[in-house]
Structure 1
Amino acid sequence: MEKLAIQAEESWRNQRAGESMEKAEKNALLRECQESVSILTGEIRGHERDLLMKKPGMAPFLEEIPLERTYYLVSTSAGEVGMDLHADHMVSDLTTLDSLVQRLGRVNRFGKRSDSRVDVVSDSSQMKEKKESLFKTLSLLEDHTRESTLDASPIALREILESPEAHEAFAPIPERVHTTDILLDLWSQTSLNDIPARPEVAPWLHGIQENLPETWMAWREEVSTLSEPELTEEELFLWFQRFPLSSKETLRRPTWRIKWTGAKEKKWVESHKDERVLLLSPNGQCRSLTIEELSQGESSLNFATIVFPTGLGGLNPDGFWDLSSTTPVEDVADPSVDRVVLEKRGDRYRFIEISPQLSKGSESKEEGEEVDSWSPWTTLKEAMREKESLLKKKCLLKLKVHRAQEWEDEPQERWLLLFKEPSSPSEQKGASKIDNHQEAVVRVLQRLTEKTSLPDSIKGALSLAAAYHDLGKYHERWQTAAGHEPQGGYAKPVSGGVDWRMLDGYRHELGSVVEAMDKPDVQSHPERELILHLIATHHGWARPHFEERAFPPGLSEETRNRTGLEVMKRFVRLQERFGYWRLAWLESLLRRADGIASKQEGEVEEMSDE
């Protein structure tokens, strides 16, 4: 925008024989450019895109309003679809006929003008890239031009689209990649994270496109805290599972455009090489790495998300990724969620709020500002309850980011806590019992399957799977890790979620399979295999396996080996019987019913031990 103002100033001087412009006039000119010109692309962060839509300069393109001056919108193909844009006039580069028709539909949308004009500009280098379709589009436009003018009304465009040659002017269909049973087998094994022979699925879903793969970027205040070496990749993954990135927090750009080889990029990397970011992979893994490691390509960025610390900058005021921007980035995560550090020193503790960087003019505490004074330490549970009472929110998750060291004169410990308002009054009543929760899931699942034409035997299998899917939570290890007494029998954890370290890899759904195998109504059911598979997969495992540490403690090695082998063989047999899609759909019915029942009970949908 500054460049546009400079050009306008030069034009002003040329018209006035080199006369200098006063500073006040320059500022007014810049302000007018900022108000009159809007830029829309697909690479703007969601938050700034939302603000753009509320900008006065965008209003004329979104609704019919009286104008006192001319407004301009500079847009990429992002403005073609998905938005009801309107303009009086348009200048467009030559594009394929299908895209051009979309753009033309943005002009004189309200039909109130008789002088709307569209100028289509062709570029010789562009013509070479998409030779056939662009030449055909240009040819069709010329064939329908009368007296140097082309009628671009909907009726006239329909005539062009109905011509026999129209399909030749459309964008080429992306090259399709052949799908094989071997690939489908590899993609279906979702409990295995690292299969070297398994390719990314995107080219098979979308075809081979020049803008794929893509990489997402986001900025969060807690990145530096989450980069503490004591946190495991599982705990990092759990944090973003409980507090996921929203679309307003992210921007995306083609991965090939994220380069670290230019002079500017190399200088930026060298200046920040030891600072840490978080990388969320499409397979669900999350890891902390330095800027230097990121730039050296030690992890694939294809369809991954890079989460930067806000203090690193890298986002300009318009919401574009810009390494020259050093201003701290505004954290625009869900404001209803509180991120708090609990710090314990000796027999005292305090809370430190992780406050988002807010827009200028907002009144808020600075990042890291102490929000409570030191208090005498009792227990972690009591400290969290105190904060819950103060915030009137529930602690969804606690991560221990620093453990006390033997050499410290005053031992220090730190936890990162996540607080959120209860979704309903019932959420404050405490976790429901396992039996009650399973019965609720059965009721939801029966309502879902009533609307299907599934055989009664399959409906019955789904209901039995729902009735026994959480039996493994009765195990004292799960109850203790969830914050309850060993014989508590609760379906959900207390504040702060399940303690991963106490759980030590135990998977409650595998425990449920072990228990359900001996139930008489499961043993006698014609769909016994399906019942046990649905129970095993309701958190994504058992496709095809469980890890060794997932078994209930105390099982003999023989039982573990036999059960683990049966889990894998069962998956193979059922996938051969039902096919890739139908088996996955049956699994999704139980998962969805589980989530709906949890929400109806006022609980957070179960993610705490996935």
Structure 2
Amino acid sequence: MSDLSAAFGVLTGHPPNLWQRRLYEGWFARGFAPDVLDLPTGLGKTAVMALWLIGRANGAALPRRLVYVVDRRAVVDQATELAERLARFAPAALPDQPPPTVSTLRGRHADNRRWLEDPAAPAIIVGTIDMIGSRLLFEGYGVSRGMRPFQAGLLGADSLFVLDEAHLCPPFEALLAAVSRDTARSATGDAAALPPPRLLSLSATGRSSGERDSAVFQLEEADCDDWTAQRLDAAKQLTLLDASGKTLALSLAAAARNRLAQAPGARLLVFAHSRADALKIADDLGAKDAPPIQLLTGERRVHERDQLAESLAALGFLNGADTQPSSGPAVLVATAAGEVGIDLDADHMVCDLVTVERMIQRLGRVNRSGGPGRIARVTVIVPPDLDADTRARLEAPLRALPPLPQGGPEDGPDGSRDASPGALVALRRDAAGLVRAATEQAPLHPPLDRATVEGWAMTALDDLPGRPAPAPWLRGWVKDEEPTATLLWRRHLPWHRRDGRGKAPTAAELEAFFAAAPPHLREGLEAPLEHIRRCLAARLKAARLPVDAPALVALSPARAVKGVWSVGELAAGIDRLWRRSGNGAGDLLVASAALGGLSASGHLDEKADADALPGTLDGGWDETVLAAIGYCVTGPEEDAPGEGWKLAHRFALPGTPDEDETEAPALSVWTLRRPGAAGRRGDPAIARRSQSLADHHGWTEAEARRLADALWNAAPTADRERWTRILTTAARLHDLGKDRALWQAAMAAPRPGRPFAKTEGGGNLRLLAGYRHEFGSLGDAGALLDLPDGEERDLVLHLIAAHHGHARPSIPPIDPDRPPSANAALAAEAALRFARLQRRLGPWALAGWEALLRAADQRASRRLDDGHDGKGHDGEGA
């Protein structure tokens, strides 16, 4: 058993406070978590990650995966920073346990896929609502259809979802609760092999605790140790003022100048209603000799948004940052993007009047740590266009805060209120009605029903009439919300050029190119579609590019091509083309970098200098960034990247008529070949060394058995033996279909030693003519399988057919060793088998079983890439 104080201290750098100890001893140490953790902002709720890790190390029956979900507007990835610290110090704190793997699905972090490598190992996954939620619903944004069930299966089983700032996203909280209930109801028979997920909501406003029958953990009087008391008593004097200028932006700027004059060395935080107001305020305050001004908005490219974190730390705005802050004054102007997911710690604040749950979040970003003699002055400006009823409703809870005395040097001005965290806790308790009335109404959202989930789960079908987009289940139907898309810039767009003329590529060429070099989170800027359209229209006029030059490629969230246009086509009728293509919410719009439209700070700017475009993924980003992303693009006149990069795709640009195709100019996509421990990309059948089919089956079966032993060692004997038999049998037979002459030839397998399961590549995949080796494996395994018809045989055969994402429900009925009629019957039965199993196990349990086999298969492949021969020593000279 690991001592809580010692382990927690090593993992986090400080001892647990009293509430953290009570949460651990009363819940995590017993294998449980409350439904809601309702604590004021700044008290260290993210420490639940450390408590979960210690609980698991001490044998508590907690889920193997902790999925920490943050709102998409979060800017500084402090949840990932804590998770990475836990992984780094876990060997010292918990020496008998494997450290958790850490993966992040947002911001500057490429998904390293380490959370997919070992379903039996502890893992922490940090992601946004959209990235986690879409994956859970089999509709993963930016995820290929083949990978979607793999990711849904691991998220939907044996996971603890920790939903940060749950009061901001009631629809997603309801979705996670519904998934937990659905999987819990299905957890019988073979589905019981995969425990249902659990949900822990974190909130600073209490809204979550009243919306479902919940076990709520709240602060008690006995929890108030010195550290907690200091934060609860952090002095914050709040004053409500009417707007003094013609507009809200002018009034906020005037109040900010006044506060800077009164506190000349302070760090001032200014919250604005909109991006446009934030820009006006920053411009107004940016006069000669003004202090440094930073701008924090959601409508900003992620690459520059990540760089902002370094500036905020240097200026002293980040609580607990390692950087020594500068001593001079500084200003941060922020929209709602600064309200969540960032430990801002300003000295004073100016903001507009908003709903009470947002006011609570904002107040948590000023004087966050408290301390003797530190008092934050908070000026709240009432918007001039606010109607009387709305004003009264929003002001009521703030006016119910305790008044502060006047007269002394540290007392508040006339009418100021105590807005400390302790006062806010009392306000929620004593004026609950006023707080509810001033809280924004949760958006309506559709219920989660099995029929809709089963539609999403048919991931092998590219098009399915009636399959809805998952957005309403993630965020609800938001009134008057403008649809947004993600805009990014590339210097090299796939486009045929010859003799000065341009020719658009086909949809197939585009999809192949963007499959190899997919739009990455780091290069994207999310903005309203109408704003993007206006900006592109302005840039088309300003850029003065040739009419046949490439301008824009529009992709759906699933990366299907929706449109591709030259400069001339787009300039001649952008409104008409925009409507015809059906560009909508969630689309990916890839613009030519030559158009410009991106400011140096990463904001969408119609007047930006096209010649001064910041770096892009295919031009200007340094090798460290590209290595983290894992792929890069070079043009025809550019040098190939250095050692470790492998050519993954060529988009030919026509040269002279007699030029050899392989020597013709091309756009080249390169992938970074990394060791297994850091993730792996590329064709899973291509490896550093060849591997026989028999060896690969043996290695995969051994990995499957290892997984079974780790996952089910405490299960009843009969269940453990059955589940192990299912998984290892599928592993032993899953690649039988590679024993075909055309597959061996297509993969350029050496003739001596055939059949091979892994080759070094260099073949011709067109020889396969649509053949899938899983389909061949399905037919071969059905003849060899020594199991009677029934549930166990069904599951084994489905796992074999689906181990690359097909047979959900369709798989190409092509096998040269069987007549077409037999192939058609085999494919039809595979579809019916999928339907039977999904009905019996539930969507997530079935996908979870598939994930176990896929993980075992991939682990066996990584062992080969790492130079391991499967016999306990390295295969290359060790």
Correspondence for 1:510: 775
Distance in 2, matches of 1:485 and 1:516, equals 25
Correspondence for 2:847: 584
Q: 1:202 aligns with which of 463, 468, 471?
A: 471
Distance in 2, matches of 1:271 and 1:296, equals 24
Q: Percent identity?
A: 30
Deviations along 1:13-70, whole A, 9 cap, x unmatched? xxxxxxxxxxxxxxxx87865x700011122112111222222785221257565432
Contact 1:314 1:329 in 2 (8 A): no
Secondary structure at 1:196 match in 2? coil
Contact 1:544 1:571 in 2 (8 A): yes
Distance in 2, matches of 1:431 and 1:569, equals 36
Residue 284 (structure 1) shift: 4.3
Distance in 2, matches of 1:181 and 1:553, equals 38
* Aligned ranges 1:359-508 → 2 under 5 Å: 368-369=636-637, 371=639, 391-399=642-650, 401=652, 408-413=657-662, 414=664, 416-424=667-675, 429-449=688-708, 450-452=710-712, 453=715, 456-485=721-750, 488-495=754-761, 499-508=764-773
Secondary structure at 1:107 match in 2? coil
Q: Decide whether aligned partners of structure 1 residues 531 and 229 sit closer, same or farther in structure 2, where only a CA change above 3 A counts.
A: farther
* Aligned ranges 1:30-109 → 2 under 5 Å: 36-55=292-311, 59-63=315-319, 67-109=326-368
Q: Decide whether aligned partners of structure 1 residues 249 and 505 sit closer, same or farther in structure 2, where only a CA change above 3 A counts.
A: same
Q: 2:838 aligns with which of 558, 575, 589?
A: 575
Distance in 2, matches of 1:495 and 1:182, equals 42
Correspondence for 1:144: 401
Return the TM-score normalized by structure 2: 0.54
Contact 2:367 2:375 in 1 (8 A): no
Q: Decide whether aligned partners of structure 1 residues 229 and 457 sit closer, same or farther in structure 2, where only a CA change above 3 A counts.
A: farther
Residue type matched to 1:583 in 2? L
Distance in 2, matches of 1:465 and 1:249, equals 40
Distance in 1, matches of 2:765 and 2:495, equals 18
Q: 1:545 aligns with which of 778, 797, 810?
A: 810
Residue 114 (structure 1) shift: 3.4
Q: Decide whether aligned partners of structure 1 residues 430 and 74 sit closer, same or farther in structure 2, where only a CA change above 3 A counts.
A: same
Residue 103 (structure 1) shift: 1.0
Contact 1:461 1:530 in 2 (8 A): yes
Deviations along 1:186-218, whole A, 9 cap, x unmatched? 222211112232211221233213557542222
Q: 2:798 aligns with which of 533, 542, 552?
A: 533
Q: Decide whether aligned partners of structure 1 residues 503 and 277 sit closer, same or farther in structure 2, where only a CA change above 3 A counts.
A: farther
Residue 225 (structure 1) shift: 5.2
Secondary structure at 1:224 match in 2? coil
Secondary structure at 2:745 match in 1? helix
Alignment: residue pair count: 531
Contact 1:45 1:251 in 2 (8 A): yes
Secondary structure at 1:116 match in 2? strand
Return the TM-score normalized by structure 1: 0.75
Contact 1:445 1:589 in 2 (8 A): yes
Moved more, 595-604 or 297-306: 595-604
Q: Decide whether aligned partners of structure 1 residues 409 and 236 sit closer, same or farther in structure 2, where only a CA change above 3 A counts.
A: closer
Residue 286 (structure 1) shift: 4.4
Secondary structure at 1:170 match in 2? coil
* Aligned ranges 1:553-568 → 2 under 5 Å: 553-568=816-831
* Aligned ranges 1:226-265 → 2 under 5 Å: 233=507, 236-255=510-529, 257-260=531-534, 264=538
Correspondence for 2:35: none
Correspondence for 1:123: 383
Distance in 2, matches of 1:493 and 1:600, equals 14
Residue type matched to 1:171 in 2? E
Correspondence for 2:34: none
Distance in 2, matches of 1:547 and 1:47, equals 41
Correspondence for 1:332: 617
Q: Decide whether aligned partners of structure 1 residues 248 and 268 sit closer, same or farther in structure 2, where only a CA change above 3 A counts.
A: same
Distance in 2, matches of 1:186 and 1:66, equals 52
Residue 492 (structure 1) shift: 3.6
Residue 86 (structure 1) shift: 1.0
Residue type matched to 1:85 in 2? L
Distance in 2, matches of 1:255 and 1:141, equals 36
Moved more, 472-481 or 566-575: 472-481
Secondary structure at 1:111 match in 2? coil
Secondary structure at 1:61 match in 2? coil
Distance in 1, matches of 2:561 and 2:600, equals 28
Q: 1:111 aligns with which of 350, 362, 370?
A: 370
Correspondence for 2:124: none
Residue type matched to 2:723 in 1? I
Deviations along 1:200-255, whole A, 9 cap, x unmatched? 12212332135575422222343235999797655644544444443322222244
Residue 515 (structure 1) shift: 1.8
Residue type matched to 1:401 in 2? A
Contact 1:96 1:171 in 2 (8 A): yes
Q: Decide whether aligned partners of structure 1 residues 339 and 282 sit closer, same or farther in structure 2, where only a CA change above 3 A counts.
A: closer
Distance in 2, matches of 1:240 and 1:600, equals 29
Gaps of 5+ in 1: 12-28, 341-352, 355-367, 372-386, 605-610
Distance in 1, matches of 2:854 and 2:443, equals 34
Secondary structure at 2:294 match in 1? strand
Contact 2:353 2:382 in 1 (8 A): yes
Q: 1:159 aligns with which of 416, 422, 426?
A: 426
Contact 2:356 2:394 in 1 (8 A): yes
Contact 2:299 2:526 in 1 (8 A): yes
Contact 2:535 2:605 in 1 (8 A): no
Contact 1:393 1:421 in 2 (8 A): yes
Correspondence for 1:215: 485
Q: Decide whether aligned partners of structure 1 residues 262 and 596 sit closer, same or farther in structure 2, where only a CA change above 3 A counts.
A: closer
Deviations along 1:371-391, whole A, 9 cap, x unmatched? 4xxxxxxxxxxxxxxx8xx94
Secondary structure at 2:485 match in 1? strand
Contact 1:226 1:236 in 2 (8 A): no
Secondary structure at 1:92 match in 2? strand
Distance in 1, matches of 2:774 and 2:614, equals 41
Secondary structure at 2:432 match in 1? coil
Correspondence for 1:174: 443
Distance in 2, matches of 1:503 and 1:229, equals 30
Distance in 2, matches of 1:320 and 1:115, equals 34
Deviations along 1:485-514, whole A, 9 cap, x unmatched? 477433345357x75533332222222212
Residue 589 (structure 1) shift: 2.2
Q: Decide whether aligned partners of structure 1 residues 150 and 447 sit closer, same or farther in structure 2, where only a CA change above 3 A counts.
A: farther
Distance in 1, matches of 2:696 and 2:733, equals 10
Residue type matched to 1:140 in 2? P
Give RMSD over aligned pairs. 3.9
Distance in 2, matches of 1:309 and 1:512, equals 44
Correspondence for 1:313: 596
Residue type matched to 1:460 in 2? R
Distance in 2, matches of 1:514 and 1:403, equals 43
Q: Decide whether aligned partners of structure 1 residues 444 and 57 sit closer, same or farther in structure 2, where only a CA change above 3 A counts.
A: closer
Correspondence for 2:583: 300
Q: Which has the higher contact order (CA 8 A, sep 6+)?
A: 2
Correspondence for 2:564: 289
Gaps of 5+ in 2: 1-248, 258-285, 404-413, 619-624, 681-686, 868-878
Contact 2:772 2:812 in 1 (8 A): no
1:601 aligns with 2:875: no
Q: Decide whether aligned partners of structure 1 residues 422 and 572 sit closer, same or farther in structure 2, where only a CA change above 3 A counts.
A: closer
